[in-house]
């Protein structure tokens, strides 16, 4: 019996409805396996701007720090229409996300990209390319690099000039590399470290630190790949990848590409971890403001993020497995939300998809 203290950040757009379904699944798991879960809802992003004028308050950070883990929906709105985007950059919804990552030291971002056999038709790659499917883990450094380096815009002699800086210390590289190799060890034991070492000093340091760390993991195969080549290889032969280890900006871009290659971004979870068991778990997709409140969003990525939370923050592998099995069972019965709908399947909304998954969690194996 475990007592879990979870902070929920429903956020904006479809966030509240998908988090609601993930909570229902967690409650069912708790009932079946005899755990107790206490939730506290916290505002972030546009939802916080509307109430407090800023995307993340110090109290919200303190609440998150005091919890065992954070389950998040999504934040942000329509950048061309929402008044949130009339605010200066540091007061917009996304600034809240960057702030919480830094404040909680969530340096390791895990983004699995899996081709579900049941959804193979949604994959935009030809059968000869996708072969028997693929299952990779993108490990993105999340609190360094261009995102957190000094930046400024100046005018010199009447000409505007903007500067962003890309800084990495060897400690920052080492700790994400260690996480990457640890995770590879639990998978297929291969790390592809992605950089731009043919141009950037930060990448040359990245490569040399990753090589040092690799010496401690003789059972894991390490290869280096340039980021432009990696972008190409992801659509040419995605099955070659096990763990992709990369810096913040490259990981942002490659993880979107990898999720598109699966064809079902509504299915992909993510975890952002620090060096303890604490983590923030959220779907890989965004807030989809155009369909917010319509009960048609896919809650599966959030439900699978809750499973990752049980696995990584609470070591509840059996419970996490049960959620993943329930999701697969529902897909096998051909239930689909609109985003993954295909011919011959039965379309359901967000709450019904959540209910079906919950229903499959009845029995304990």
By a kind-dependent CB cut-off of 5 to 8 A, residue 182 interacts, out of Mg ion, ligand IPM, none, with none
* Helices and strands in the chain, H and E counts: 12, 14
Residue 181 C-beta: closest distance to Mg ion, Å: 24
By a kind-dependent CB cut-off of 5 to 8 A, residue 94 interacts, out of Mg ion, ligand IPM, none, with ligand IPM
Q: How many residues does the chain have?
A: 365
Inter-residue contact 115 to 126 (CB < 8 Å): no
Q: Which is nearer to Mg ion, 133 or 286 (CB)?
A: 286
Residue with tokens 């909570």: 23
282 binds Mg ion (CB under 5 A): no
Burial grade of 39 (CB within 10 A; 0-12, 13-18, 19 or more): middle
Inter-residue contact 99 to 203 (CB < 8 Å): no
- In 3D, which of 308, 239, 283 has the Cα closest to residue 11? 283
252 binds Mg ion (CB under 5 A): yes
Tokens, residue 237: 């032969």
| Neighbouring residues of 198: CB distance < 8 A, sequence distance ≥ 6 | 226
Residue 76 C-beta: closest distance to ligand IPM, Å: 6
Indicate if 196 belongs to the active site: yes
- What one-character DSSP code corresponds to residue 88? -
Q: Which is nearer to ligand IPM, 72 or 123 (CB)?
A: 72
Residue 181 C-beta: closest distance to ligand IPM, Å: 23
Indicate if 228 belongs to the active site: yes
Indicate if 63 belongs to the active site: no
With CB under 6 A as the contact rule, the residue among 12, 195, 252, 339 that binds ligand IPM is 252
Among 196, 237, 295, 321, the one annotated catalytic:
196
SS3 169: coil
- Contact region with Mg ion (CB under 5 A), list: 28-36, 131-139, 247-255, 286-294: 247-255
Residue 285 C-beta: closest distance to ligand IPM, Å: 10
Residue 297 C-beta: closest distance to ligand IPM, Å: 17
| Neighbouring residues of 102: CB distance < 8 A, sequence distance ≥ 6 | 143, 148
Burial grade of 33 (CB within 10 A; 0-12, 13-18, 19 or more): middle
- Contact region with Mg ion (CB under 5 A), list: 9-17, 212-220, 250-258, 347-355: 250-258
φ and ψ at residue 43, rounded to 5 degrees: -90, 140
97 binds ligand IPM (CB under 6 A): yes
94 binds ligand IPM (CB under 6 A): yes
Enzyme catalytic residues = 147, 196, 228, 252, 256
| Residues found near Mg ion in the complex (CB under 5 A) | 252
Task: Give me the residues that bind ligand IPM (CB under 6 A), please.
Answer: 94, 97, 252
């Amino acid at each position: 019996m475990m007592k879990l203290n979870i902070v929920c950040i429903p956020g904006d757009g479809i966030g509240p409805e998908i988090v609601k379904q993930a909570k229902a699944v967690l409650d069912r798991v708790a009932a079946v396996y005899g755990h107790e879960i206490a939730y506290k809802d916290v505002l972030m992003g546009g939802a916080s701007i509307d109430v407090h004028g800023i995307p993340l308050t110090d109290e919200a950070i303190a609440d998150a720090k005091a919890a065992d883990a954070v389950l998040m929906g999504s934040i942000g709105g329509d950048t061309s229409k929402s008044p949130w985007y009339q605010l200066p950059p540091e007061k917009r919804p996304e600034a809240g996300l960057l702030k919480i990552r830094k404040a909680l030291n969530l340096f390791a971002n895990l983004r699995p990209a899996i081709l579900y056999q049941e959804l193979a038709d949604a994959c935009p790659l030809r059968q000869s390319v996708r072969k028997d499917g693929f299952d990779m883990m993108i490990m993105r450094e999340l609190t360094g690099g261009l995102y957190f380096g000094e930046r400024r815009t100046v005018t010199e002699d009447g000409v505007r000039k903007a500067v962003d800086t890309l800084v990495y210390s060897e400690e920052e590289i080492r700790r994400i590399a260690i996480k990457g190799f640890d995770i590879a060890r639990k998978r297929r034991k291969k790390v592809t470290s992605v950089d731009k070492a043919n141009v950037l000093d930060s990448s040359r340091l990245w490569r040399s630190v990753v090589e040092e760390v690799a010496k401690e993991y003789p059972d894991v195969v390490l290869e280096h790949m340039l980021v432009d080549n990696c972008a190409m290889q992801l659509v040419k032969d995605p099955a070659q990848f096990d763990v992709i280890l990369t810096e913040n900006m490259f990981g942002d871009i490659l993880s979107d590409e990898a999720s598109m290659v699966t064809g079902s971004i509504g299915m992909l979870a993510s975890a952002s971890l620090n060096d303890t068991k604490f983590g923030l778990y959220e779907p890989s997709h965004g807030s989809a403001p155009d369909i917010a409140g319509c009960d048609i969003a896919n809650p599966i990525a959030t439900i699978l993020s809750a499973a990752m939370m049980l696995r990584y923050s609470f070591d509840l592998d059996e419970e996490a497995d049960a959620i993943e099995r329930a999701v697969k069972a529902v897909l096998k019965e051909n239930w689909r939300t609109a985003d993954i709908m295909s011919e011959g399947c039965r379309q359901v909304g967000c709450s019904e998809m959540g209910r079906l998954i919950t229903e499959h969690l009845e029995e304990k194996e």
